[in-house]
Amino acid sequence: MTGGTGLLALEDGATFTGVGFGSGRVVAGEICFNTSMTGYQEVLTDPSYHGQIVAMTAPHIGNTGVNADDDQSAAPRVSGFVVRELSRTHSSWRAEEPLDDYMSRHGTAGVSGVDTRRLARHVREAGAMRAALSSVPIAADELVDVARSSPAMVGLDLASAVSTKEPYTRPATGPAGKGRPRLRIAAFDFGIKTNIVKLLASMGSDVTVVPARTTAEDVLAGGFDGVFLSNGPGDPDPVEYAIATVRALLGRLPIFGICLGHQILALALGARTYKLPFGHRGANHPVLRVGSGQVEITCQNHGFAVDAVSLASTEARLTHVNLNDQTVEGLEVPGLCMGVQYHPEAAPGPHDSRYLFDSFRRMVEEGVRGNQ
């Protein structure tokens, strides 16, 4: 722990005092809050949080420590971390080090002792905005200036910043099943989480993770059976290279997109996206499967959404709806593509939505049989 005074400042002038921990530094990013009760390590390492300062609404953070198995990328991706109370001790048989030490080792700044309930209410009422966090002493007005001088999230292509620079392959770790082919999946890395790759491989698929700027020609030349579009940070609109690639792949290979990948898929189909007032982030968001009456409790992390009116003018059909605000949570063009706004691999979160990976595999298998 840095031991110095910590401070969070928003671009509208609001400030929140606390105690700095982790790495001693000043950082900037868009402020957002996550309502998950557990899974703070997965939140810290989710590349979808690149460029954001994340506040956890659960009051105690750090009480289970940190371990290498739960990382969703090589290091924390958040710009900064805000908590109500940083646990002084941790207790878990899986723990390898305290959260404070982990953040210090990776150069990640945090502030504890913040009234996160007040902060969440403020963001809900005023909307997402730029912010700055300091885990070292600094004047409040100076930190507000840092927030106001940082880039806004709208118009930012952050997928390129977090994507792998070179392709890599994870071989299948599970059997395809009797009479079922071993598939080859090209997974576009817009900020892909480790557990997604693990799940795709566990279903009997060889997964090649490719950079965000990989072209349709490269994918088609690679002999793949299906395409996965990953989660990721930032605004989907400026990721024009990926939208063009997906548009060129539609109808040629089965496609499954989640989170940012879902938004890119929607844009490729001709729909529009827009920025939500304060986004959806947590592991408890209810989503309705259209036509079935079934409700999934989902893990979500996104600040943009697909416009429902524009989606209705495309060939895609609406498959899932958020029950909190009626926003689009899923789409499908039968036999061609499918996408969901949430994180069905559930790291962290419930497992209600893992059936989607089975649905994707069936769609790919049908495509393989159709090409034989």
Q: What is the dihedral of CA 176, 182, 184, 188, to 10 degrees?
A: 0
| Pair 158, 238: CB distance under 8 Å | no
Among 96, 93, 80, 66, CA closest to 2? 80
Greatest CA separation found in the chain? 68
Q: Among 30, 42, 50, 259, which one carries the catalytic annotation? A: 259
How far, in Å, CA of 162 to CA of 226, rounded? 23
The yes-or-no answer on residue 343 being catalytic is yes
Among 207, 49, 14, 232, CA closest to 124? 14
The yes-or-no answer on residue 259 being catalytic is yes
- Beta-bridged to residue 286, according to DSSP, are 297
| Pair 145, 118: CB distance under 8 Å | no
Q: In whole angstroms, how far apart are CA 173 and each of 166, 170, 207, 339?
A: 22, 8, 10, 24
| Pair 196, 334: CB distance under 8 Å | no
Q: Among 50, 280, 302, 343, which one carries the catalytic annotation? A: 343
For residue 30, the number of C-alpha atoms closer than 13 Å in the C-beta half-sphere is 24
So which residues are the catalytic ones?
A: 259, 343, 345
